[in-house]
Copies of this chain bind each other. A is one copy, B any other.
Amino acid sequence: MRDEDFIRGKIPMTKSEIRAISLSKLEWKRDSIIYDIGAGTGSVSVEVALAASDGRVFAFECREEGCDLIRQNAERFGVNNLTVVGGMAPETFQGLPAPDCALIGGSRGFLDKILDELFILNPEIRVVLNIISLETLAQAVSYFENRGLEPEVVSVTVAKAEKTGKYHLMKGQNPVYVISVGGSDRFHVDRR
């Protein structure tokens, strides 16, 4: 989906290209239970909710403005399998169905606790992280090292042409680290 399809507030949105890569690595199934933690504008939540049409998506977001945006975007696209959960993860996981995959777009300093809880809820869970800070990158690498897990780590740098007069100038976006780990080893087919 295109970035301009979504209602955007002041909260930074995961860009289209990063969303596509992250959802691909999430290896969701049509009936997956998916956690989107630090859901922001809800662009990831909405796109995966539409795709995993027999599944359920829980969008965790601690900012009230974010929760509103996610609801607006869900409504805009007629999504009905997406639940917005306010408050601070991982406490807010309580009472919800266990996920088979989770995307972490923000962790407010609680990355270890969130990952601990996800692996308790489902030791076979597939987890994808979008990381933009050096500190969180270090924390994630160290977490998986300590747990004996070997994640895939890629950095993705996108530049996009902007027309200025008759020239297309390439404008750099911020690089994002996409880390993925866990899940089954059978190949993933998007039979949504």
Residues of A within 8 A of B (CB): 1-2, 5, 16-17, 19-21, 23-25, 47, 50-51, 53, 77, 132-138, 141-142, 150, 152-161, 163-164, 166-175, 187-192
Contacts and interface: CB of A to CB of B under 8 A. Distances in A.
Nearest to A142: B138
Q: Which one of A2, A134, A150, A173 has the greatest number of beta carbons of chain B within 10 Å?
A: A134
A152 B15 CA distance: 14
B167 A135 contact: yes
Contact of A166 (B17, B135, B169, B173): B135
A138 B137 contact: yes
Contacts of A173: 172
B188 A1 contact: yes
20 contacts: A1-B24, A2-B188, A19-B24, A20-B23, A133-B169, A134-B161, A138-B141, A153-B160, A153-B161, A154-B159, A155-B170, A156-B158, A159-B172, A159-B174, A159-B175, A169-B174, A171-B174, A172-B175, A190-B190, A192-B192
A150 B54 CA distance: 37
Nearest to A138: B138
